[in-house]
Amino acid sequence: MTDTDTIVKEIPGSEYDWMSKNYSDTGKLFIYLALSFGLTFLWFFLTIPKGKTWDSMGIAMQSFVSLGMLFPFISHIIMRWITKEGFAMTGKDSLMLGIDLKQGKWKYYILALLLPLIYTELGNVFTLLFDRSVYDPSYYESLGIDKKTLLLFPLNAVVTGLIGSFAALGEEGGWRGYMMPKLLKIFKAHGRIPALIIGGIIWGLWHAPLTCIGHNFGTEYFGFPYFGIVKMCVCCTLMGILLTFVTAKTHSIWPAAFLHAVNNASPSVLNGYINPDKANTNMWMSGTLLSLFLTVLIVLTIWKREDKMLGKTI
Amino acid sequence: MAGLLYKDFAEIKGKKLSLILLLLTVAFMVLRVAFPGSDNIADLMIEDNESSPVNLIDDFFILAVGFQMFYLNYIINYSVSRICTADEKNKIRGYLFSCPLKKNTYIASKYIFIGIMTYVCFSLYMIWSVSCGAYILTDSVKSIDFLNVFNAFAAPFFSLSLLIAGIELPMFLLFGRDRAMFIKIGFIMFLAMLVIGYILFGDLSIFEKIDFERIIAWADAHAFELMLVNILLPLITVLLYYGSYRLTVAFYERKEREYD
């Protein structure tokens, strides 16, 4: 490298200095989304066996494909390196990796662990009310588990969710750790609802390759896979509201990671009594979706009330 | 607190260690995808007692996962002594206590640092295990069972590492480096002597009677009890670890008062 090169490199804004360019929040968000979607879709393309559906690839391969959940956080780290936003663990514009239980924040950690238990079980109750035919009193036996073990499922989901939360942390580190703060900043003038909806749709679309191979809703439904992608966007918007709520209240991505991990572990006793093979084909008659919707309504009401008390606007 | 944690991270050469572990993990994943169990290389295919196929490539990768589990636990154990002895050597504690810092913040930082390390190491182990398991030859029941044995022991093994850290940390913080190392090495030597003594004079025939298939059948029949242990073990470990922290703080404060 010549002396001239060294001098040019040090001039801010020069062609050599693209990494320290002042990106706008929208610019940062678009680069982040390109990175996150690009890396994850590449991972799915490389790892999903050709011609296989989600159910036919086996649990071991499903877990391996699910490691794609780590890419939103990896993209977040790369973004901070590109835009020189720094790697602060806590505080404003940080990675939000700190854990602070003071000033009543511990409540949100407990809430993050218990909320999935409540809405999943409630959702299964709704499912049974919608469609009695799915009730199968001995279904758990076909899963190779006894009644006593089935009763431990919710507790097991909480513990395994806590200790094996790294995959969920991978997603939350990106979506709640980087995307949502940027969206909330961009839509500051319009309140947080548009940001939450757009964030949910983006997150739902990120799942599209998995939805196309039958993850979550299978392949036997009307409008496959397009209606599945739409439903995933709806589910992600609702889930995203809960996850953003606990993140905003604690300024940490950990409770969101715990909530996400416990949610993915399907913590419900009634799962042992609901035979999905007997379910009707109308994917929108979902008890879980209804219970999630009700939970989100309650959370939004609480959020709005707390904001009013603090003098903020929703 | 963040500063104290970063100091410990620098003390164990965290950036270098993270880079090595990351490169190892990526290399392992690439190799596993490049050499799946479904590769039918005649010289590496054998049959077990029940005529099921076993691909030795699978067993090689499973052994690597097992080795990784021990290596990660070694890193946790090494970090405990490293972060305590370096502070003593560099007279960090004297300097820190001249700052407006609570004594329990310093001790908490040590416990939190090892807690984070255990979480990260366990997560890395899970990534290795998942990568290995995805490409095992589908018909190879023995290889799948082999990996499942490691997976079944992983959580108790990492819990044990955390418990050992819960014993070692107070030793290093309360007794100092020399005495703690003396006790630690003395205890390890005592255990080694017991093992050597058993190998020389004990009844080794009991190892011949160990039947892994019976153990797996027993595990299948006691799913409830095993799940209960799997749930309670991490909870009990964290409670004991927290208890160790509270005790260390109590003794440390008493020690400091006596010193004053």
Judge: B122–A90 Cβ closer than 8 Å, yes or no: no
Looking at the complex, does the CB of residue A164 fall below 8 Å from at least one CB of chain B?
yes
Residue A201 CA to residue B7 CA, distance in Å, equals 41
Judge: A63–B130 Cβ closer than 8 Å, yes or no: yes
Judge: A60–B155 Cβ closer than 8 Å, yes or no: no
Domain of residue B247, residue span? 2-259
Judge: A159–B234 Cβ closer than 8 Å, yes or no: yes
Which tokens sit at A4? 């001239």
Closest among A121, A114, A115, A129 to A151, alpha carbons compared: A121
Nearest to A166 among B126, B138, B227 (CB): B126
Count of residues for chain B?
260
Residue B155 CA to residue A229 CA, distance in Å, equals 36
Dihedral, A67, A73, A74, A76 alpha carbons, nearest 10: 160
pLDDT band at B260 (very low <50, low <70, confident <90, very high): low
Which tokens sit at B138? 């589908």
Which tokens sit at B210? 């160990």
Taking an 8 Å Cβ-Cβ cutoff, which residues of chain B contact chain A? 2, 33, 119, 122-123, 126-127, 130-131, 133-136, 138, 155, 223-224, 227-228, 230-231, 234-235
In chain B, the number of structural domains is 1
Residue B111 CA to residue B115 CA, distance in Å, equals 6
* Optimal mutation site among A50, A64, A102, A252, interface B, most CBs of chain B within 10 A: A64
pLDDT at B145 exceeding the cut of 90: no
Beta bridge partners of B46: B54
* H runs (alpha helix) in B35-55: none
The span from the first CA to the last CA of chain A, in angstroms, equals 54
pLDDT beneath 70: ranges in chain A: 1-21, 280-283, 311-314
Judge: A149–B223 Cβ closer than 8 Å, yes or no: yes
Per DSSP, A48 falls in state S
Residue type, A109: Y
Residue B178 CA to residue A152 CA, distance in Å, equals 46
Over residues B228-240, mean pLDDT: 89
Looking at the complex, does the CB of residue A145 fall below 8 Å from at least one CB of chain B?
yes
Q: A94 to chain B nearest CA, in Å?
A: 13
Q: B225 to chain A nearest CA, in Å?
A: 8
Which tokens sit at A95? 């990675």
Task: Give me the residues of A, 79-98, that contact B with CB < 8 A.
Answer: 89-90, 98
What Cα–Cα distance (Å) separates residue A241 from each residue in A203, A286, B100, B193?
12, 19, 40, 59
Please count the other Cβ atoms lying within 10 Å of the Cβ belonging to residue A98: 18
Which tokens sit at A49? 């066996």
Closest among A309, A314, A189, A161 to A244, alpha carbons compared: A314
Within its chain, how far is the Cα of B26 from the centroid? 20
Q: Are A15 and A153 in contact (CB under 8 A)?
A: no
Q: At what angle do helices A153-163 and A106-130 cross, to 10 degrees?
A: 140
Determine the pLDDT at residue B137: 84
Residue A313 CA to residue B47 CA, distance in Å, equals 69
Residue A79 CA to residue A175 CA, distance in Å, equals 13
Residues sharing a CB contact under 8 Å with residue A7, sequence separation 6 or more, in sequence order: none
Collapsed DSSP state (helix, strand, coil) of residue B47: strand
Over residues B47-61, mean pLDDT: 82
Collapsed DSSP state (helix, strand, coil) of residue A216: coil
Residue A117 CA to residue A301 CA, distance in Å, equals 20
> 């009677």: which residue's tokens?
B209
Instruction: Round the CA-based radius of gyration of chain B to a whole number and report it.
Output: 22
* H runs (alpha helix) in chain A: 3-10, 25-47, 59-65, 71-83, 106-130, 139-142, 147-151, 153-163, 166-174, 180-186, 192-206, 208-212, 226-250, 254-264, 287-310
How does pLDDT run across B81-118, given as a tens digit for each residue? Answer: 888 888 877 777 777 777 777 778 888 889 999 999 99
Which tokens sit at A255? 């409770």
For residue A274, the number of C-alpha atoms closer than 13 Å in the C-beta half-sphere is 23
Instruction: Round the CA-based radius of gyration of chain A to a whole number and report it.
Output: 21
Which tokens sit at A284? 């929108």
Please provide the average confidence, as pLDDT, over all residues in chain B. Answer: 86
Determine the pLDDT at residue B120: 93
Determine the pLDDT at residue A294: 95
Closest among A141, A134, A154 to A286, alpha carbons compared: A134
Determine the pLDDT at residue A279: 72
Judge: B223–A152 Cβ closer than 8 Å, yes or no: no
Over residues B142-153, mean pLDDT: 84
Q: Are A121 and A288 in contact (CB under 8 A)?
A: no
What Cα–Cα distance (Å) separates residue B206 from each residue in A147, B199, B200, B210, B218?
36, 12, 14, 7, 18
Over residues B210-235, mean pLDDT: 81
Q: Is the dihedral of CA B134, B138, B140, B144 positive or negative?
A: positive
Judge: B134–A162 Cβ closer than 8 Å, yes or no: no
What Cα–Cα distance (Å) separates residue A44 from each residue in A61, A69, A116?
11, 10, 27
Q: At what angle do helices A254-264 and A166-174 cross, to 10 degrees?
A: 130
